């Protein structure tokens, strides 16, 4: 089982890299997030690896960060989500957005990925919502549990609904409310105003 590869970047394609490790070339499937961070030909690259073995193929999936690998494994744990579908979801909804999309029930964010229809997206949301709520989804410290802004009744739900009515996506609205909830001091008008400012930044 390969857990990590370090070597020289030989080729970057649309969905994979060819990594030269001591003269051996490894084809590693990667998301656009990881591909964008691999650099140029000849650069030294280290990737965390998930190895998937089938009767007809051995496929390597590579990740620059542990958080992306963790989301890949969570997605793959859902019935009906194969490794390629999991990678497609990470391509359509990067790790820094995926947690918010799942925690806020944003089905549209998941169906942007190739091969993910409404039924599969609903299953992913159902099975992973609790796990997403336990992860640190915010780049900055936030008072209270992650996910509290939307999951509890009250002004946070009202603020998210108001932002959605103004045309913002559910996960974007959720993320904005989560970031500014402490500053708003449980005042609905302030919460909406601050969240709008955050969304327009």
User: What's the rounded Cα separation, in Å, for the pair 176 and 100?
Assistant: 10
At residue 114, φ and ψ (nearest 5 deg) are: -60, 130
pTM for the model stands at 0.70
Which of 118, 94, 100, 97 lies closest to 108, judged by CA? 118
For each of the domains in the chain, give its residue range(s) and CATH number, in order of start. Answer: 4-64 (2.40.50.140), 66-137 (1.10.150.20), 138-201 (1.10.8)
Per-residue pLDDT tens digits for 13-27 = 989 999 999 999 999
Query: What pLDDT shows up at residue 144?
Result: 38
- Angle at CA of residue 82, ends 80 and 85, nearest 5°: 100
Burial profile 69-104: b = 16 or more Cβ within 10 angstroms, e = fewer: bebbebbbebeebebbbbbbbbbbbbbebbbbbbbb
Give the CB-side neighbour count of residue 157, counting CA atoms within 13 A.
5
pLDDT beyond 50 at 146: no
The tokens describing 104, both together, are: 């806020």
pLDDT beyond 90 at 183: no
pLDDT band at 72 (very low <50, low <70, confident <90, very high): very high
At residue 105, φ and ψ (nearest 5 deg) are: 70, 30
């Amino acid at each position: 089982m390969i857990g990590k590869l370090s070597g020289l970047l030989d080729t970057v394609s649309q969905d994979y890299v060819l990594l030269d490790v001591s003269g051996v070339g490894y084809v590693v499937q990667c998301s656009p997030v990881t591909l964008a961070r691999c650099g140029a030909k000849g650069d030294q690259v280290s990737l965390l690896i998930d190895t998937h073995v089938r009767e007809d193929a051995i496929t390597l999936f590579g990740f620059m960060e542990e958080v992306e690998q963790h989301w890949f494994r969570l997605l793959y744990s859902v019935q009906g989500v194969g490794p390629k579908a999991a990678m497609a979801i990470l391509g359509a909804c990067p790790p820094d957005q995926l947690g918010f999309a799942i925690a806020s029930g944003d089905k549209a964010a998941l169906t942007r990925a190739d091969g993910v229809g409404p039924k599969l997206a609903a299953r992913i949301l159902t099975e992973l919502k609790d796990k997403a709520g336990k992860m640190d989804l915010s780049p900055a410290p936030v008072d209270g549990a992650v996910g509290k802004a939307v999951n509890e009744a009250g002004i946070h739900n009202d603020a998210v609904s108001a932002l959605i009515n103004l045309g913002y996506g559910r996960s974007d609205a959720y993320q904005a409310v989560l970031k500014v909830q402490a500053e708003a001091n449980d005042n609905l008008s302030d919460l909406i105003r601050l969240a709008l400012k955050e969304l327009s930044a």
